[in-house]
Amino acid sequence: MSRSRRGRFATVGAAVVALAFGMAACGNAKAGISNGGGGAPGVTDHQITVGSIANVTGPLSSGFAPIVNGVQAYFSMVNAEGGVAGRTLKLAYQEDDQGSPTTDLSVAQQLVLQNKVFAVVGVGTPFFGGAAYLAQKGTPTFGYAVSTDWQDRPTLFADYGSVLCFPCGAPGDAYTAQQLGAKSIAVISYGVPQSAAACKAAVTGMRALGLNVSFTDTNLVFGGDPTPDVLQMKNNNVDMFFSCLDVNGNVGFARAISQNGLTMKQVWFNGYDRSTLAQYGSIMNGVYFGLQHVPFEAALAFPGVYPGLDTYIKEMQKYQPKFTYDEVALDGWIAADQFVTGLKAVGKNLTQKSLVAAINKEKAYNGDGLTTPVDWTKSHSGSPPPYCQAAVVVENGAFVPAFVHNNQVFTCFDLHSATPVPAAPGTPGPSGI
């Protein structure tokens, strides 16, 4: 459950995915790769102007639009402190790609050619059709990745690294199963790549590590009846259920599991959301989630241990309170922090090229204490170990940090082992396994 936003894109229905793939061919043309534009569009002595691209009104908007709110809150905090090198930050152009790769390309071109932004800060979209164009133009770009469009483009910086590595999550999956005493495991996903890829990697990885994955269905129809699968799970004495489904799919399976008299541990790759918990609390009790960031609940559970999280919550409550506990808003905050970290490294003599060069020298960027470190000398084209995850479990209607050791919420692994290894230098929280 690491190195990829595995659950986020599982919310796509099969019909939407089919339509979007037909459109995607129009928006992902090959383009040259730049190491950064030479100039400084959008930069004056007193201001840096940027834009964002998010799926604000498309069918999947709830999983992407809040990235802009996280960027806005971070910029408000920085500007209140006087900006960066005497310049304030302005998110002047907030583009909505409506979940369309062709529209995404169009608004990316508009931001560069018409609006002349210095950077794109806050990309949250299922189909990043403008990725190749922004890379070719050398426009520094920040957001989170749910596709391979970010990979091998040194001016594009995705939260948690720009490579989606589904197999890298398998050791964490196996560790979770071992910790919970699983003897017979079921793995379920929809039959679309955005859902199935994570679960297929989990199956391969867990079996390679000696776990009994006794039942799989990686071709479930979106909206389909879970009962046949649950009955097969019952026949196979399944005691742990791994799901790459959306929240509605997860809830449907949880209900069918209960109705058919089964008792089992459940791991969902999607649903770590307080509004979801408020609606489905009784169904979610005992469900585990894997995270790539410090859990929000660590602020109260371990006071003062994760100051980066404390800052995030404090400033979000001040500037964007509705989105404080939204993972997508947190992604926007991290994207903005990465941008500002680069600006501070460059100083007054700012260009796009100098910003990109400064960030690509970073070897342990951790979102100001929110994530495990990203090595930008390697993370455009690979996913270097260790592979770390945090976890929460639902207990009595609340998320609670799980598998914590000495107040350290992250557990880390090498690629082919479920035995924890030391975290990399720069990992938030106490050191040690």
Residue where one domain finishes, among candidates 301, 330, 359: 359
- The beta-carbon contacts of 17-26 under 8 Å, at least 24 apart in sequence, are 17/192, 17/194, 20/99, 20/100, 20/101, 20/126, 20/127, 23/100, 23/101, 23/102, 23/127, 24/101, 24/127, 24/129, 26/101, 26/102, 26/129
> Could you tell me the residue range of the domain that residue 154 belongs to?
31-160+313-359
Is it the case that residue 231 has pLDDT exceeding 70?
yes
Are 178 and 278 contained in the same domain? Answer: yes
What tokens appear for 77 in the block? Answer: 């905090």
The reply to whether 270 falls in a domain is yes
Are 213 and 263 contained in the same domain? Answer: yes
The reply to whether 414 falls in a domain is no
- Residues 6 or more apart whose Cβ sits within 8 Å of residue 104: 27, 53, 97, 125, 127, 128, 129, 130
**Tokens 């909206």 found at:** 223
Are 218 and 184 contained in the same domain? Answer: yes
Q: What is the pLDDT of residues 348-399, one digit of tens each?
A: 999 999 999 999 999 999 999 999 999 999 999 999 999 999 999 999 999 9
Are 147 and 192 contained in the same domain? Answer: no
* Whole-number pLDDT of residue 175: 96
The reply to whether 305 falls in a domain is no
Which residues are registered as beta bridge partners of 89?
A: 48
Q: What CATH number should be reported for the domain holding residue 178?
A: 3.40.50.2300
Q: At residue 157, what is the residue type?
A: F
The reply to whether 406 falls in a domain is no
Are 198 and 215 contained in the same domain? Answer: yes
What phi and psi, each to the nearest 5 degrees, are found at residue 192? -120, 150
Are 329 and 259 contained in the same domain? Answer: no
The reply to whether 426 falls in a domain is no
Number of domains into which the chain is organized: 2
The reply to whether 407 falls in a domain is no
What tokens appear for 280 in the block? Answer: 């489905």
* Whole-number pLDDT of residue 33: 62
The reply to whether 416 falls in a domain is no
Are 151 and 186 contained in the same domain? Answer: no
Are 281 and 332 contained in the same domain? Answer: no
* Ordered alpha helix ranges (H), 11-66: 14-27
Are 91 and 154 contained in the same domain? Answer: yes
The reply to whether 6 falls in a domain is no
Are 40 and 148 contained in the same domain? Answer: yes
Are 224 and 198 contained in the same domain? Answer: yes
Is it the case that residue 20 has pLDDT exceeding 60?
no
The pTM (predicted TM-score) of the whole model is: 0.92
